C-alpha cells in the first residue's frame, strides 16, 4: 500500500512482463466463457478490472485478438518470452483493462464478487460462494 492506496503487482511466469495497478478493482470474479476456458486450459479465468489510468505495464507483450461474446473483439495479452497470459485490453485505446488474477504476486488480494457466463460453466468448475451470478455478460 502506498499513501493508503492499495497496489496490485504481478506479471508473467518468467518476469519479463510486469504490471502495477493502484486502487480498488472495478470488478473481480470468474469468467466461465468458452474462450476463457480455452485460453486458460481450465474451466474459468479469475479476473480483476481496473481503469486504464490505474494500470502501468512494464515489458513487451504479444496481443491475441478474437471475437468477443458481445460481437466486438477481445484482446488478450501474453508474454512473448514465456507465453504467460497477463492482461486484457488494448494499450493506448482501452478505457479499462482486465488483469488475470493468477498473475498477481499476492494472490490473497483477489476477492471474487461476480461470476460471468455461468451458462457455459463446466459442472466440475468451482463457483465461489456468495458471488453474484450472471448467465452471460452483466449489464453495464
3-state secondary structure (DSSP) of residue 17 = coil
- The CA distance from 92 to 63, in Å, is 13
Is position 32 within any domain? yes
Instruction: Return the C-alpha cell found at 42.
Output: 481450465
109 CB burial (10 A radius; 0-12, 13-18, 19+): middle
Give the CATH number of the domain where residue 85 resides. 3.90.1590.10
Summarised one tens digit per residue, pLDDT across range 1-51 is 567 889 999 999 999 999 999 999 999 999 999 999 999 999 999 999 999
- The CA distance from 88 to 72, in Å, is 14
- The CA distance from 69 to 76, in Å, is 14
Is position 138 within any domain? no
pLDDT confidence of residue 2: 62
State the CB neighbour count (10 A cutoff) for residue 112: 20
Summarised one tens digit per residue, pLDDT across range 74-132 is 999 999 999 999 999 999 999 999 999 999 999 999 999 999 999 999 999 999 999 99
Q: What is the dihedral of CA 84, 132, 123, 67, to 10 degrees?
A: -50
Is position 1 within any domain? no
Is position 2 within any domain? no
Structural domain of 37 = 7-133
pLDDT confidence of residue 4: 80
Amino acid at each position: 500500500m502506498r499513501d493508503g492506496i492499495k497496489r496490485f503487482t504481478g506479471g508473467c511466469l518468467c518476469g519479463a512482463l510486469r504490471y502495477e495497478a493502484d486502487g480498488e478493482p472495478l470488478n473481480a470474479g470468474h469468467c466461465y466463457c468458452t474462450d476463457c476456458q480455452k485460453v486458460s486450459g481450465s474451466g474459468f479465468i479469475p479476473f480483476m478490472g481496473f481503469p486504464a489510468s490505474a494500470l502501468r505495464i512494464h515489458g513487451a507483450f504479444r496481443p491475441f485478438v478474437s471475437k468477443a461474446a458481445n460481437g466486438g473483439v477481445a484482446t488478450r495479452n501474453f508474454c512473448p518470452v514465456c507465453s504467460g497470459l497477463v492482461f486484457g485490453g488494448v494499450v493506448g485505446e482501452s478505457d479499462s483493462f482486465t488483469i488475470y488474477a493468477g498473475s498477481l504476486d499476492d494472490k490473497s488480494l483477489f476477492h471474487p464478487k461476480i461470476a460471468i457466463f455461468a451458462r457455459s460453466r463446466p459442472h466440475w468448475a468451482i463457483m465461489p460462494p456468495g458471488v453474484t451470478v450472471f448467465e452471460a455478460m452483466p449489464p453495464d
